[in-house]
Structure formats: structure tokens, C-alpha cells
Amino acid sequence: MPCVDDQGTLSTMPGLTIRKPLPCAKCGYDLNGLEARGRCPECGSDNIATLALRLDIAAEELTRSAALVRTAWALYLACAGSVLGCFIAVSPILKHAGTAVDLPAWLFSTLNKLSIAAPRIALFGTTIGLIGLLLVLPWDRRRPVRRARFFGSGGFLGWMFLSVQPPSYEIALMALAAIAMVVAALTPLLRELTPHSRFFSTARHATQSTRDLLIAAAVCAATGAVPLYLGQYLPADLDPTFDVALYSGIVAFSSAMFLVVGLGYRLVNAHWVLLSVRRPPPRLSEVLGE
């Protein structure tokens, strides 16, 4: 049984040839029909280096099925829905900015249009997230799938309900609970699919952890509530109060940005997983032959 080890060297019998279309990792030349131990006739790079790059030995033994592809699609839709759902906070922020700063007329009208469109974008996002988890995710009895469906759909339903309410900071803060629920619900799916994507397993620095997302949501909720509370129950002209409200607002805004960027990262991660599950790399035994 031929295999490529960690260093990308081929420990196998001599004379094995590549018997599938396999573009050279360096120049893209098709290595089909050439010896595995040989070199690319175009650029001279080692064919074994290409094999080590194009194949995913670690994922060879994993089952590939239609249900797996559907799970990856469901994860992708839920992640995309989460990013779009964040538009729920855009209207109150823009309204605030519009009243606080004197804007040129064209910019004001552009922001106004965005402000009107934002809740619809959020509603669209939460709908596709819900469709992903309710209809696309296979009806599987396994616990991670059941949990993802139950909590994820619950989170998206709440998020959808909030998207159709008149936009406000209070609504945006309430949506954080739904966001946290969805984020936590998707984690078991992500954990299950991660081994299928070699790119995901190797690009650890670019993967988004659930813990960071949940912390960002919690900090945003806690600090975001302070200015709302102070604005409602205490006189606004009290200077120390104003400072506290301002700083809390800044922290809330920063954590919200962190959360949005984190959800964007997670969408990219889900995209990698979907790509590798839809088109898995060929198995070594299919590529090499006598």
C-alpha cells in the first residue's frame, strides 16, 4: 500500500505512475501518465511534492456521503445567515450617526437608504440560516446534528422575530442572545466537518473559535446595556454619567465589530469546508498505479 508520509516522501515500490489528471503544484502541467518519483517536465519540480500537496492523506479514511455535503451546505448557509443577520444593528447606529454629525446631503440620503434596507437584509439572512438548519441539514438522529438543528433554528427564529421589530439599540442587544445561541449550536457541526478540510486544519491562525465569539457577544451585551440604562433612568447632563455612557458605548461598538469580523471568518471557514467536502481530493490509491 503506497503512502505519502509527513515529509512528503513516497515510501513505496518503485515504478508507480500517476494515472489521473493531476496538475503540477508549481506550474499546473498535467502529470497524468508520469512516474510518481519523477519530475515535472515543464518546471522540474518533484512530482512527489505535488502529490503531497494535492492529496489529503489524513482525510482518506473519512466517509464521504451525500449527507456530509448537505451538512456542509447547512453550515455554510447558517454562517452566511449569521453575517447578514448582523444588519439588525445597522439602522440604530446609522440613525444615531445621522443625528450626531452634520452629513452632506448625498451621504445622508445613502445612509438613509441603507438604514431602510438593513432590517430586510437581516430578515433575509436569518431566513436562509433557518432554511439551512431546518431543511438542508439532513434529518439525522445523531446528537450534534439534533442539537445544531434545535438550538440553531431556535436562535434564528428569535433573530427573525427581532428583525421585523422597529429597529433600535434594545432590539440589537436582544439579538445578541440569538447570535450566541446560533454560534454555539453550529460548533458541533464545524467540529465534525473540520477534519475533511485540510486547508482548515492547517490554517489554524485564520480559524474562528466559538469561545471568542461568545465572549465578544457577552461584552457587547453588557457594555451596550450601560448607555441605554443611563440614558433612560439618569439625567443626561450629568457629566460623569455621560463619560461612562460614552466609554461603554465605545467598548460595545468595538466588541460588536469583533463579533461581526469573527462571524465573517467563520463564514470563510465554512466555505473551505464546503469546497473540500463537495470536491474531495482524490485518494492515493486512485491516483497511483503500477
DSSP β-bridge partners for residue 30: 23
Minimum CB separation of residue 113 from Zn ion in Å reads: 51
Task: Report d(CA 91, CA 99) in Å as an integer.
Answer: 12
- The residue within the footprint of Zn ion, chosen from 16, 34, 36, 40 (CB under 5 A), is 40
- The residue within the footprint of Zn ion, chosen from 17, 23, 29, 62 (CB under 5 A), is 29
Could you give the count of Cα atoms lying within 13 Å of 26 in the half-sphere of its Cβ? 11
- Of 23-31, 101-109, 176-184, 198-206, the segment contacting Zn ion by CB under 5 A is 23-31
DSSP β-bridge partners for residue 3: 11
CB count, 10 Å around CB of 251?
16
Minimum CB separation of residue 84 from Zn ion in Å reads: 41
Residue pair 280/65 in contact (Cβ under 8 Å)? The answer is no
Angle in degrees, 0-180, between the axes of helices 105-131 and 90-100, rounded to the nearest 10: 170
Size of the site for Zn ion (CB under 5 A): 7
42 part of the interface to Zn ion, by CB under 5 A: yes
23 part of the interface to Zn ion, by CB under 5 A: no
Minimum CB separation of residue 48 from Zn ion in Å reads: 13
24 part of the interface to Zn ion, by CB under 5 A: yes
Q: Are strands 17-18 and 288-289 parallel, antiparallel or unpaired?
A: antiparallel
48 part of the interface to Zn ion, by CB under 5 A: no
41 part of the interface to Zn ion, by CB under 5 A: no
Residues that bind Zn ion (CB under 5 A): 24, 26-27, 29, 40, 42-43
